[in-house]
Amino acid sequence: MKIVVIQGPNLNMLGVREQNIYGPMKLEQIHAQMKEVATQNGVEIEFFQSNLEGEIVDKIQECYGEAQGIIINAAAYTHTSIAIRDAISAVSIPAIEVHISNIYRREEFRQKNLIAPVCASSVIGFGPFGYHLAMMGMLQIMNEIHAAQEAQKAQQAQA
């Protein structure tokens, strides 16, 4: 099983930008922690970061047939990108969105979320720990899907 982690604009600047909002952890540290959890659970994990909307859409589309889960922090595109929303919807892969800060306690324009309605769940406002929570959630979703597929196979074998 494979999870693809997609990071949006300016997340490559974590640890440098607005530490009072996003904290001191760098993106590489967050990814290292996620990789450790994936390894412990026998799951392949891939990381991707881009500041460009089209590249994020392309990456989501590449997940079709290749990944069983997407964890995405669309960052500022959360509030503006119908294209990213449509890509998530099109691939029909469970997606969990992550936001380091609580977007609903910030500026009004950040409270509009175009991504959440097409995601299985959202983890918002837990800082970098939110990525760990998203990993736990995605592993649970993947296990439930796998169990349902196995049960369906067993039913078909009995028929």
CATH of the domain at 125: 3.40.50.9100
pLDDT of the residue at 140? 96
**Domains contained in the chain, number:** 1
131, exposed or middle or buried, with CB in 10 Å at 0-12, 13-18, 19+? Answer: buried
Annotated active-site residue 64? The verdict is no
Set 64, 79, 99, 146: catalytic member: 99
Annotated active-site residue 22? The verdict is yes
The region, left, alpha or beta by phi > 0 then psi within -120 to 50, assigned to residue 65 is left
Longest Cα pair distance anywhere in the chain, in angstroms? 60
User: Contact at 8 Å (CB) between 68 and 2?
Assistant: yes
For 111, the domain range is 2-158
Of residues 116 and 22, more confidently modeled: 116
**Cα 10 to chain centroid, rounded:** 16
Tell me the per-residue pLDDT of 25-77, one tens digit each, with 9 for 90 and over: 899 999 999 999 999 999 999 999 999 999 999 999 999 999 999 999 999 99
Is it the case that residue 104 has pLDDT exceeding 90? no
Is it the case that residue 20 has pLDDT exceeding 90? no
Is it the case that residue 21 has pLDDT exceeding 80? no
Q: What is the mean pLDDT of the chain?
A: 94
Is it the case that residue 156 has pLDDT exceeding 90? no
The token duo for 33 is 């922690």
Residue type, 40: Q
Q: Would you give the end-to-end CA distance of the chain in angstroms? A: 28
Set 22, 64, 131, 132: catalytic member: 22
pLDDT band at 127 (very low <50, low <70, confident <90, very high): very high
